[in-house]
Amino acid sequence: MWESESESVRGRGYGDGVLSPTKHSLKTDGFELRGRSWHVGTDIPSDLLVQVEDVDFHLHKYLLFSRSGKMTRLVYESRDPDLSKIVMKDLPGGTEAFLLAAKFCYGVPLDLTAANISGLRCAAEYLEMTEDYEEGNLIFKTEAFLSYVVLSSWSDSILVLKSCENLSPWAENLQIVRRCSDSIAWKACTNPKGVRWTYTGKPQDIQSPKWDEMKEPIPGGSHTVPVDWWFEDASILRIDHFVRVITAIKVKGMGYEQIGAAIMYYACKWLPGLVNYENGEGNEATNCSNGSASSRKYNWNGDLHMVVVNPKNKISTIQAKERRMIIESLISILPPQKDSVSCSFLLQLLSMANILKVAPALVTELEKRVGMQFEQATLKDLLIPSYNTSETMYDVDLVQRLLEHFLIQELTEDSSPSSQSFSGKDGLEASQTTASSNQNAKMRVARLVDSYLTEVARDRNLSLTKFQVLAEALPESARSCDDGLYRAVDSYLKAHPTLSEHERKRLCRVMDCQKLSVDACTHAAQNERLPLRVVVQVLFSEQIKINNAIANNTIKEAGESRCQPIASSRKTLLEGTPQSFQEGWAAAKKDINTLKFELDTVNAKYLELQHNLENLQRQFEKILKQKQTSTWSSGWKKLSKLTKMNAMENQDLVDQVPITGEKARKTNRRWRNSIS
């Protein structure tokens, strides 16, 4: 990658990466493989057999003991000076690394490369080939090659880090992994301008529009470098080493968008369940694992789909464990920023996490990340099959949790101190913008939830409670129109024809009849599946809307026909007349106002006179009623007065002559009895 690597080798005495023989070397014709044994071509017979794994090495004691502290200690610990066989079962790097170490002891020139340097460095540490035994021993040579050659080269750093996968924990303890990760991170974050790149990824067709967008011109360079030039090289690493590289890149300060894109690229390559479709079409794109740059054509904006594996082709336990580890590691290194990765990618990752039984804490963290950008999801992303014990076809509980995380996030943003810390005009505008953005997000989520409910309502195993809870999770302000909810309710009624009248009424409570459009009201009025009470509510609300619309249109048309021509004519007249005429018009307007005031005064006086006239009429009618009294009633009143006067006179006579009065009474009674 970096063109200065060959100069670094020659400048420090490595030639072309070949170690020259040392002064204590033995003249030999080289090493020869005979079956499963290596023999040294010398005149002196070998006196030591070293067995590494299942391969035998016939060597000489004095050359190995003069450079390896491990060999010397093994002979000393065995208490046998004539020891002729040593078995090494745990030597890092295996037979290849020991063969190179043995050749170094014999002075055979070694071709050091990025593929063998890490194993040889670990083997030299294991064999304790330090400067205490000889100056310029193998540890010094390999360490110098790593520091001055490998770490200055992009491709060598990648290959060495890849070769460290089978050298744990030696490569970790010797800081090879850390140093290679830092080197890769530093080069990935370096400004590509002015550097001649020879990255491993093959360039795409220059005429490709996507390539034109991704490439960046370099002054004085023969090639152009895409912004994702390092994705393919970094994706060949094992997940733990990839995590180390991404962590180092974060420390260097790379943008979170590019880090998120690298994580998505890595997931596309190592998780077979994630398949990329170009431009949203049904044709499968080139598999990311082919290593070519054509796999750079990836788009995670809603075009990522989950391929449900056939149950007959079950993945093995080892594969499931590896994929589970990859998903857990990717979740742990996701940038915390909201838009670092797409919501579609997060949902697909969440679906696979549920299939592979990822740790619950990481699944919850991933659900929170989806909730942060839930408004970016699509219906295809939410249709996640249910892999638990639930009888429903889709995982409705998961969508419910995602919606709760979204609402909690919105509530947190609204009540956060940062959103309330601004004051003045700018602070007011910022708060209004934030509120408007949150409201738009809620409206998008409401439309998404309505579409999801319409889709899952066809599942006959979906309970009414789950449907109702999900439909009522969003606040009423999130929906300006309930047509989507009406479609979902209608779909649920179609799929569940055995609902009782009470259950149908309960289902219809999730929608507001006053928020239905004219088309929805027309359909609902003819929908036999709806309860009769709901149909009446729909018709009543529609009638109110029609009346309000007619009244508003009438008032609006009348106001426009009266006010607008007058206002426009006045404005045109004032603009087209000189100043003197305008002054005369102002005086005339003042006279008109005076006449209006006088007219109002006359009207008030007229109303007062009319009120007085009404009072006089009432009094006159009262007098007439008194005069119309009958003569018979007046005569009867006079007769009653005379009768009262006679009775009073008779009472006085009775008081004066009591006995006579008594007799008269008896006589009268006797007469009445005879009459009867």
Residue 440 lies in a domain: no
351 within 8 A of 384, measured Cβ to Cβ? yes
Confidence tier at 633 by pLDDT (50, 70, 90) = low
* Alpha helices per DSSP H over 164-234: 170-173, 176-188, 209-214, 231-234
286-339 pLDDT per residue, tens: 344 443 333 343 444 433 333 333 444 456 788 889 999 999 999 999 999 888
| Percent of the chain residues topping a pLDDT of 90 | 36
pLDDT > 70 in the chain, percent: 68
Q: What is the pLDDT of residue 180?
A: 95
Mean pLDDT to the nearest integer, 30-44: 85
Q: Using the predicted structure, report yes or no on whether residue 245 has a pLDDT greater than 50.
A: yes
Beta-ladder partners of 228: none
Contacts of 506 (CB under 8 A, 6+ apart): 464, 468
What is the CATH classification number for the domain harbouring 58? 3.30.710.10
How many Cα atoms within 13 Å fall on the side-chain side of residue 348? 25
* Per-residue pLDDT, 669: 46
In a domain, 235, yes or no: no
Burial class (CB in 10 A: 0-12, 13-18, 19+), 233: buried
Classify residue 146 by its DSSP letter: I
**pLDDT computed for residue 599 by the predictor:** 75
Which tokens sit at 216? Answer: 């960046």
Between 163 and 306, residue with greater pLDDT = 163
Whether pLDDT at 378 is above 50: yes
Q: pLDDT at position 629, please?
A: 56
- Report the chain's C-alpha Rg in angstroms: 51
Question: In this structure, are residues 406 and 371 in contact, taking their beta carbons and an 8 Å threshold?
Answer: yes
Whether the ω angle into residue 169 lies within 30 degrees of 0, i.e. cis, is yes
Amino acid sitting at position 61:
K
**Per-residue pLDDT at 430 exceeds 80:** no
Residue 399: inside a domain: no
Listed range (273-282, 350-359, 391-400) with the worst mean pLDDT: 273-282
pLDDT reading at 361 higher than 70: yes
**What average pLDDT score do residues 571-584 get?**
50
* Distance of alpha carbon 274 from the chain centroid: 18
Q: What is the DSSP string of 247-290?
A: HHHHHHT--HHHHHHHHHHHHHHH-TTEEEBGGG-SSBPPPGGG
Domain contains 356: no
pLDDT band at 386 (very low <50, low <70, confident <90, very high): confident
Q: pTM of the prediction?
A: 0.69
Residue ranges of alpha helices (H) inside 356-423 are 360-372, 379-382, 396-415, 417-420
203 pLDDT more than 50 = no
Tell me which of 353 and 633 has the higher pLDDT: 353
* Entry field: residues in the chain: 676
- Mean pLDDT, the chain, as a whole number? 76
Residue 378 lies in a domain: no
Give me the domain span that covers residue 91: 30-152
d(CA 429, CA 634) in angstroms, rounded, equals 90
**The predicted structure's pLDDT at residue 476:** 87
Tell me what the mean pLDDT of segment 603-624 comes to.
81
Coil vs helix vs strand at 33: strand
For residues 8-36, give the mean pLDDT: 60
Q: What residues pair up with 394 in beta bridges, in sequence order?
A: 385
Report the domain count for the chain.
1
Tokens of 583: 């002054």
Q: 48 pLDDT exceeds 60?
A: yes
Most trustworthy range by pLDDT among 214-228, 600-614, 657-671: 600-614
**Spatial CB neighbours of 161, under 8 Å, sequence gap ≥ 6:** 176, 177, 180, 181, 184, 237, 241, 245
pLDDT score recorded for residue 527: 85
SS3 assignment, position 50: strand
Whether 275 has a pLDDT exceeding 90, the answer reads: no
Look at residue 485 and tell me if it is in a domain.
no
Note the pLDDT of residue 65.
87
469 pLDDT exceeds 60?
yes
What's the mean pLDDT in 138-146?
A: 94
| Mean pLDDT score, 577-605 | 66
Mean pLDDT, to the nearest integer, of 100-111? 90
Quick check: helix, strand or coil at residue 20?
coil
Window from 198-207, 319-328, 557-566 with minimum mean pLDDT: 198-207
pLDDT band at 221 (very low <50, low <70, confident <90, very high): very low
CA-wise closest residue to 534 among 550, 521, 519, 547: 521
Q: Is the pLDDT of residue 159 over 90?
A: yes
- What's the burial of 248, exposed, middle or buried (CB within 10 Å: 0-12/13-18/19+)? buried
Greatest alpha-carbon pair distance for the chain in Å reads 194
Q: How far apart are CA 199 and CA 231, in angstroms?
A: 10
Distance, CA of 247 to CA of 410 (rounded, Å): 29
- Do the domain assignments include residue 231? no
* Helical (H) or strand (E) element with 100: helix 94-105
Each residue of 634-675: pLDDT tens digit? Answer: 554 555 565 666 556 555 544 544 444 444 444 444 434 433
Per residue in 492-541, pLDDT (tens digit) is 999 999 999 999 999 999 988 888 888 888 888 888 888 888 888 878 87
Task: Identify whether 133 is part of a domain.
Answer: yes
